[in-house]
Amino acid sequence: MVNDYRPALNAVGWSFGALATFVVFSRIYCRAFAVQKQGWDDWLMVFAWAAAIVTTALVTVSTTYGFGIHEADITSVSDLENAIKYILIAPAISLLASASAKLSVVLFLLRLLGLAATIPHRIILYTTTALMIGGNIFAMVVLLGYCNPPRKAWDPTVEGTCMSAQVLNIGGRAVTVYNAFMDLLCAAFPVLMLWTLNMRSKMKWGLAVVMSGGVLQLGHDCNLVHDGGTSDTIMPPFSLLSSLFFRVVGSI
């Protein structure tokens, strides 16, 4: 019996995509017409949404070639190559979505706090954000430049060289661990800072719940650290299913 996760991948990915579309554009509508005060954090969130939708679309394309079933069940060599190709690209785009969303939260927090954000607060947020951006750029370079030429990553008949699988494994785990730390920081920092502001308790609790949503991403990050690098082959469609499943959902 063939284990087929393709319907689940597409159903969950596009369900969260629809939810994200509603939430993001509701936010933009409120900021543009109700509050009439937009900022870079809003447009970064739109960019994060767009990157997450592209990631989901790439996964959907990959499922048409066999991503979501065992590699042994993909009978066509060209289908296997295409499945691997799109799954190499999708995580790189998802990194853009994840990093942009975190940067949006940081900028929104700084704008919300205003003068209440002290120099130490700004140093912590700017430094950790800069390290996150650098780490994600490194991960994207490794993913897209894993082999030279890139085509060799999904077509072993092409002459060229590839990095050690350990580089992909260790680098991916390191970036994921730091992203998990950023998720925790983006969830905890706003809650701690909001209680120093002079506003109604109801408003504080509401903002705390909304801005601490990033803690839900921790489960996805932990899943990536646990599952990453457990395969003996390059990006096999089934073995990376669990990791990419949570990355697609988490990015949106």
- Distance (Å, whole) CA 95 – CA 217: 13
Whether a cis peptide bond, with omega within 30° of 0, leads into 237 is no
- Distance (Å, whole) CA 3 – CA 134: 38
Structure confidence at residue 87 (pLDDT): 84
Q: Examine the pLDDT at 53 and tell me if it is beyond 80.
A: yes
Q: Examine the pLDDT at 192 and tell me if it is beyond 80.
A: no
Q: Examine the pLDDT at 66 and tell me if it is beyond 50.
A: yes
Q: How far is CA 179 from the centre of its chain?
A: 9
Q: How far is CA 14 from the centre of its chain?
A: 15
Handedness of CA 214, 83, 233, 140 (dihedral sign): negative
| Least confident segment among 27-31, 71-75, 93-97, 242-246 | 242-246
Structure confidence at residue 223 (pLDDT): 56
Q: In the numeric block, which tokens belong to residue 193?
A: 């800072």
What phi and psi, each to the nearest 5 degrees, are found at residue 147?
-125, 155
- Distance (Å, whole) CA 21 – CA 28: 11
User: Taking residues 12-31, what's their average pLDDT?
Assistant: 85
Structure confidence at residue 208 (pLDDT): 67
- Distance (Å, whole) CA 197 – CA 121: 14
Kind of pairing between the strands at 147-148 and 161-162: antiparallel
User: 9 with 63: CB under 8 angstroms?
Assistant: yes
Residue 28 has a CB neighbour count (10 Å cut-off) of 16
pLDDT digits (tens, 9 = 90+) for 77-106: 888 888 888 888 888 888 888 888 888 888
Query: Which pLDDT band holds residue 215 (cuts at 50, 70, 90)?
Result: low
Structure confidence at residue 123 (pLDDT): 87
User: Taking residues 150-168, what's their average pLDDT?
Assistant: 83
Of all helices (H) and strands (E), which one includes residue 61? helix 40-63
Query: Which pLDDT band holds residue 2 (cuts at 50, 70, 90)?
Result: low
